[in-house]
Each structure stands twice: as C-alpha cells, then as structure tokens.
C-alpha cells in the first residue's frame, strides 16, 4: 500500500523519523519518491499491507500527515488514443502495450511523479488527490 507523508513539523527535519518508524515497527519501507526542502516535505512510501495501520499510526504520532493512496493516477480510456507517449517517459514502467497495441496500466508501479500526465498530448491522464 502506498502512503503519502506530508507537512512535517520543522523539528522533524533533524530527526530520522523514517528510520525510527522502520526500526520501531520492523517494517521494510520502500521510499518511492521524496521531495524535501525548507518549505515543504512530501514522501510517497510503499508499505506491506499487513503493516499499514502500524506504520501510519507511528508516523502520525510523530507529527506527520499520512494519507493512503488508493488511486494514484486517473486514466480516461475513452480520451486515450494509445499513442505510447506515457510509455516512453514513465521511469517505473507503469504503462505497457499489449499484442493489439493497446495501453495497459499497472498502478502498483506508479510513484506519482506526474511525468506521464505532462507528456500525454490529449490530457487522458491526471494525478489523483
């Protein structure tokens, strides 16, 4: 399950909160995407389904806003012309062609970088908030 972590308090910038959660829960957490600067912080992490509640609770306890990402990208299949622009730019292989040259989407691989959204010439893709 993908989790979006946001709005860390300023005192957390000096704290290894992710390492603490990993150690305290014994959970292997994969950081799919991180954007941390002086103004805002946002991480997308992948957590095993059986540890989501425990990991979420501990991050919240540490002052981090946690949101489950059930749907990462909206795909308007009627608008899509299966041109492959999304395939060529996606860093994680979310999109593939099948034998009939039709696009297929594997949302589990998505890291919500939005590169495909910007590349789609017909705006058939959108980020989901």
Domains and CATH numbers, the chain: 2-69 (3.30.70.260), 73-127 (3.30.70.20)
Phi then psi for residue 126, to 5 deg, are: -150, 150
Residue 66, pLDDT score? 95
Condensed to tens digits (0 to 9), the pLDDT of residues 118-129 reads 999 999 999 876
Summarised one tens digit per residue, pLDDT across range 93-104 is 999 999 999 999
């Amino acid at each position: 399950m993908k989790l979006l972590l946001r709005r860390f308090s300023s005192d957390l910038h000096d704290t290894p909160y992710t390492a603490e959660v990993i150690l305290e829960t014994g959970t292997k957490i994969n950081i799919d995407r991180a954007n941390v600067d002086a103004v805002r912080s946002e991480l997308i992490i992948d957590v095993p389904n059986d540890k989501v509640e425990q990991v979420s609770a501990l991050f919240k306890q540490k002052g981090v806003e946690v949101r489950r990402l059930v749907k990462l990208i909206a795909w308007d299949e009627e608008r899509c012309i299966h041109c492959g622009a999304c395939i060529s730019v996606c860093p994680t292989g979310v999109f593939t062609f099948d034998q009939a040259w039709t696009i297929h989407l594997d949302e589990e691989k998505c890291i919500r970088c939005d590169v495909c959204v910007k590349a789609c010439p017909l705006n058939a893709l959108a980020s989901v908030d």
